[in-house]
Structure 1
Amino acid sequence: MDAHTLTEARPAGGADPMAAQPPTFLESLLAAGLLIQTGVRGLYGRSAVFEGIADGLNAAFTRIGADQNAEVLRFPPAIGKDDFETSEYLKSFPQLAGTIHSFCGDDRGHRQLLARLEDKQDWTDQQQFTGVVMTPAACYPIYPVIGKRGPLPAEGKIVDVMSYCYRHEPSLEPTRMQLFRQREYVCLGSPERIVAFRELWMERGLAFGRALQLPVEVDVANDPFFGRGGKIVADSQRELKLKFELLIPVNDGAPPTACMSFNYHMDHFGALWHIGLHDGGVAHTGCVGFGIERLVLALLKHHGLDPARWPQAVRETLGGI
């Protein structure tokens, strides 16, 4: 473990806080080897035990959504610059975006790069943007794909998608990772179809959380829109009740963490990617998102670090892990 990281994880104050306080949740996870320190805040390896719980959650989400007749799509955790710009993500969340850069020079440029390394100088200005951006949310790659197919069927469409996602939020809270997995069911269709879809999944999300014997609640929420104008947008999102989150206490001494989200995008993505309804209108979209790592952490927090000791009903809900 990184002693510097562990020291930072504790609140200041007291002559010897390391001796006076019990381990934080993050320290316990690292000590048990469930998360693996990489030296970068919010970037962790995962153990076989951690991944086994994640696999159980994913299998459960598949069972719960079996009646949705969803098309399964999987994408790498990156999208092209053009689609990223079309999404308007930078207008709302520039602070979270991550771009991929690479060395694109010649032999002379390579020699300059090596000289920088030899002298222990900054070499990152030798990198150029590749035109590829880290995926900020699992559903983003599906909209341009669906838009190119033509009008939706009369009953609309549901897509099952999962991806690693990136958000630039370096943090010592274990639930706030820079790279994490989202599993989503995305609904595209009429406004009435999206509202019914979201209500169904809010009920299912609560039922699933209770089956896992976790202290869950659902509340209206907003996304972290950037800047002064972002506050207006966030207030509007809350007023219109476009976003709800399933909350579970996880982090030491912090408010409950959003582990699932239930979102209604209205016609935002439908208009951007020209996703049409069968009658010629613009499709509305909505999604339910499951934070895989956050749910694993919630289970470890409330049931202990050894899944073999968890309540039998919880283990059975996860497929007998």
Structure 2
Amino acid sequence: MRRTVTIELATPATEMAQEEIPKQVAFLSKEISDIRFVREGAALEFEAPEERAADLARAAEALARTMQRSLRSLARKLVYRSPACDRVEFRGGALPAGITQMGQGQVALEGIPLRLYRYFDRSLEALGAPFSPSPILVPTLIPAATLSKCDYFRSFPHIVTFACHLPEDMPRIEDFRARHQDRETLDDRALGDMAHPEVCLSPAVCYHVYAANRDRVLPAGGARYALAGRCFRYESSKMVDLRRLWEFTMREIVFLGTRENVLGLREQGNELVARYLDEHRLAGEIRTASDPFFIAPDAAAKTYFQISSETKYEISLMLPEGERVAAGSLNYHTDFFGRAFSCTIEGAGPMHSVCIAFGLERWVYAFLAQHGNDPSGWPDVVRRSPEMAGL
């Protein structure tokens, strides 16, 4: 039997704390679901099994207290707020036909959702055209050693998807085959049969760019790349619709160069994204944010640093009932990847980097929530696009 767990907070959670705390609570247990704040942040609630409710409540309360303490002196910086925020009207009801759940955090798109997906893929690629980036095609698999250099296993081990296979061992392969001859699912011995995972499924496409520039000396002007690919992040009970998928599509623009160079390009990116929001009459903001660092002793410090130093700007689009979806981000990594992959800028030391990333499925979701399913009411820039021909 499940029950609602309610945690009364010593002080109401700020808007920022209400956004950050659920990211962590979801990973206390797979049995937790429907995490939400109530009474304007005065209490945190979630659903959990009756027999584990007390233990999970204590763990969630301690986590919330730690996060509130680390964020109490922080104020979110607003970089841009679109005019549509002041007159937002959510015309979307039920999502249109064409979105099929294929498994946990996995969807198939067709019809209007697929047309919108293709539209955002093309138009967001065009958004980066003024930078004249070099196109690059990257794999879906990424070596575990590369993710380790990116500090992923220390910062985000909870969302990694590992790719594994049976080793070159005929008796083991035959045993596996025989055990599964009449089964419809993997048995509880399957994981032990697998070889040590050497690769993972990419959680972001930009990591391939840094790895591709390993041991290189780049010219003073740096380098710019445009790429897209499928990405994978396991986010537990939060994977319920297009807002948060296990497998999704990311389109990115990546800048490598000196600190001044890449930060200047990020500012240009802010302006281009702001114009894009206006053209599409989308209610949204560009604002400081943080990544969902794993629950660890230094997680709160990382969150504090990321928000206070403005290394991450998120593109936050409005949804009904006060909710939001982070449909993209503009991230400055300092010289971390330059040092990790021994990439330098001629005459200027380790390479600094910025990536501008867009989650295509989230743009589809937010657009439908704000503009509805009827193309006749959509902004002209979308309605008259080649992807909508024949509607």
Instruction: Work out whether the TM-score is over 0.5.
Output: yes
Residue 207 of structure 1 corresponds to which residue in structure 2? 275
User: Does structure 1 residue 51 correspond to structure 2 residue 117?
Assistant: no
Could you tell me which residue of structure 1 aligns to residue 176 of structure 2? 113
1:34 aligns with 2:101: no
State the distance in 1 between where 2:142 and 2:245 align.
20
Report the Cα offset of residue 108 of structure 1.
2.7
How many percent of aligned residue pairs carry the same amino acid? 25
Correspondence for 2:206? 139
C-alpha displacement of 1:53: 1.4
Distance 1:105 1:126 in 2: 11
How far is 1:290 from its partner? 1.0
Unaligned runs of 5+ in 1: 1-7, 14-24
Does 1:163 pair with 2:229?
yes
Cα RMSD of the aligned pairs, angstroms, is 2.6
TM-score, normalized by length of structure 2?
0.70
**Rounded Cα–Cα distance in structure 2 between residues aligned with 1:286 and 1:237:** 14
CA deviation string 1:175-208 (max 9, x = no partner)? 1001111111111111111111111111111110
Between 222-231 and 101-110, report the one with greater CA deviation.
101-110
Tell me if 1:176 matches 2:176: no
Tell me the equivalent position of 1:83.
Answer: 146
Q: Residue by residue, what CA displacement relative to the aligned partner does 1:220-254 show, whole Å, maximum 9, x if unpaired?
A: 1011111231111110111111111111123x546
**Residues of 2 paired with 1:275 and 1:297: CA distance?**
38
Q: CA deviation at 1:174?
A: 2.7
Contact 1:154–1:278 (CA under 8 A) maintained in structure 2: yes
Question: Any idea what the Cα deviations from partners look like across 1:251-282, whole Å, max 9, x if unmatched?
Answer: x5463111120111000001000111110511
C-alpha separation in 2, matches of 1:162 and 1:300: 22
Instruction: Answer yes or no: is 1:281 the counterpart of 2:345.
Output: no
For 1:100, the equivalent position in structure 2 comes to 163
Asked whether the equivalents of residues 151 and 280 of structure 1 are also in contact (C-alpha less than 8 Å), the reply is: no
CA distance in 1, matches of 2:126, 2:306: 31
Q: Distance in 2 between matches of 1:315 and 1:131?
A: 45
Rounded to whole Å, the distance in 1 between the matches of 2:248 and 2:374 is 22
**Does the 8 Å CA contact 1:60/1:319 hold for their aligned counterparts?**
no
Q: Deviation at 1:26? A: 11
Q: Deviations over 1:32-77 (max 9, x none)?
A: 3321111x22111111432221221122123222221211011121
Q: 3-state DSSP class of the match of 1:164?
A: strand
Distance 1:106 1:26 in 2: 54
Amino acid at match of 1:204: L
Match of 2:313 in 1: 244
- Give, in whole Å, the separation in 2 of the partners of 1:164 and 1:143: 17
Structure 2: gaps of 5 or more residues: 1-32, 37-45, 48-90
Quote the Cα distance in structure 2 between the aligned partners of 1:110 and 1:207: 56
Match of 2:368 in 1: 300
Contact 1:99 1:129 in 2 (8 A): no
Match of 1:21 in 2: none
TM-score normalized with structure 1 length:
0.84
SS at match of 1:129: coil
How far apart, CA to CA, are the structure 1 residues paired with 2:128 and 2:333? 20
